[in-house]
Structure 1
Amino acid sequence: MIESIRQFDVELFLKIHRGLSNGFFDWLMPLMRNRFFWSPLYVFIIVFCIKQYKKTGLYIIGMILVTFAMGDSISSKLIKPMVGRVRPCNDFHLSNDIIHRVPCGGGMSFPSSHATNHFAIAVFLICVFYSRWKPILPIGLFWAIIICFAQVYVGVHFPVDVTSGAILGTIIGFVCSMIFKKLQPEF
């Protein structure tokens, strides 16, 4: 069972990483996974929360940071060392199949911390703001999904890594939103 999942994961990885290869994605996907590319969005969220919600906005920002810290700690410090899965770009079985679009890095692959962190933040924001602004749902999910897809496309994660990270991040984002709503019931 585990071997068949692993085989499916590798096949799907290659279909995305090599099969969808094109010049536009080669340019776009490294940007989508780059944290500096999203800096204007992060600044917008901070400014919007403070300007629109004042003190409560500061609590929202604080909970976003807590959400990020939880996601990153659980995925990077707890799960990755226990699982110890090698990134596809460092897997010697795939060395002839990898297109090096970004530096590989030396960390472990499972789960994807990018997926965990971005899904955690997206789900937190969706849960907090959905009643006030419905478009947050498709926008937040698209943002997190495109980052996950980019991680596979550039060759630093397998699909199971980003899927597991997305599930973990969703749980963390939901739990943190419930904590926020308990602490700020009037929001």
Structure 2
Amino acid sequence: MIDTLNQLDIDLFLWLNGRYTPWLDPIMIWITERNSWFPLYALLIGWLIYRYRKQAVGYILTIIFSVAVADQLASSVIKPLTHRLRPCHELSLQKLIHPVLECGGQYGFCSSHASTTFALAASLWLMLGKQHSWLRWGFLWAATVSYSRIYVAAHYPLDVLAGTGVGILSATLCVFVLNKWQTRSEAQKLI
């Protein structure tokens, strides 16, 4: 069963990674680079502060904790436990893949890019999605960043899928803690 699932994952990776075009390479490199998104993060923080004033501190801290938990679960817990090589480190795939960047770390399960971007998107959606339906576009952004990891040959599809789950789970946990804290703070004000 696991061998079959692994082979399906490899086959899907090879198919997706094989759908490259040279003009898309620099775009995918830009999308996959973490530093490319710093202006978006700064804009997001500025918007939260402008729109929510004092509440923004709780929202920003929740996002930071959610992203940090997702990153640490993916990088410091799951990758060392699974030891699944990235496709770009897999010798049997070297002639079949289209690597666009240096390969990076040895292990790829699960994708830290997917976990952190989905943690950010899910945190925003869970905290503010009812008020701002446009925040749903954060999931498309996270999916695009996650797909870029397959495009550059850094991750298999299951690495990305698992990272997505880790990100959404960490966001759900951190937003739950924020909601509990806010409820407790409001109850103490009434006393």
TM range (shorter): over 0.9
1:8 aligned residue: 8
Q: Pick the structure with greater CA Rg.
A: 2
2:17 aligned residue: 17
Amino acid at match of 2:141: W
* Structure 1 position 106, deviation (Å): 2.4
* Structure 1 position 54, deviation (Å): 1.5
Deviates most, 43-52 or 142-151: 43-52
**TM-score scaled by structure 1?**
0.94
Counterparts of residues 33-48 of structure 1 (less than 5 Å): 33-48=32-47
Counterparts of residues 132-171 of structure 1 (less than 5 Å): 132-137=131-136, 139-171=137-169
Counterparts of residues 105-120 of structure 1 (less than 5 Å): 105-120=104-119
Partner SS state of residue 149, structure 1: helix
Counterparts of residues 89-104 of structure 1 (less than 5 Å): 89-104=88-103
* Structure 1 position 95, deviation (Å): 1.0
Deviations 1:33-73 (A, max 9, x none): 11111111100111111121112101111111111110111
Partner SS state of residue 184, structure 1: helix
Give structure 2 stretches of 5+ with no counterpart. Answer: 187-191
* Aligned-CA RMSD value: 1.2
* Structure 1 position 24, deviation (Å): 3.2
Between Structure 1 and Structure 2, which shows a larger proportion of helix residues? 2
Give structure 1 stretches of 5+ with no counterpart. Answer: none
* Structure 1 position 184, deviation (Å): 2.6
Partner SS state of residue 36, structure 2: coil
* Structure 1 position 98, deviation (Å): 2.2
Which residue, 171, 182, 185 being the options, matches 1:184? 182
Runs of 4+ in 1 over 6 A off after TM superposition: none
Amino acid at match of 1:68: V
1:124 aligned residue: 123
Amino acid at match of 1:159: P
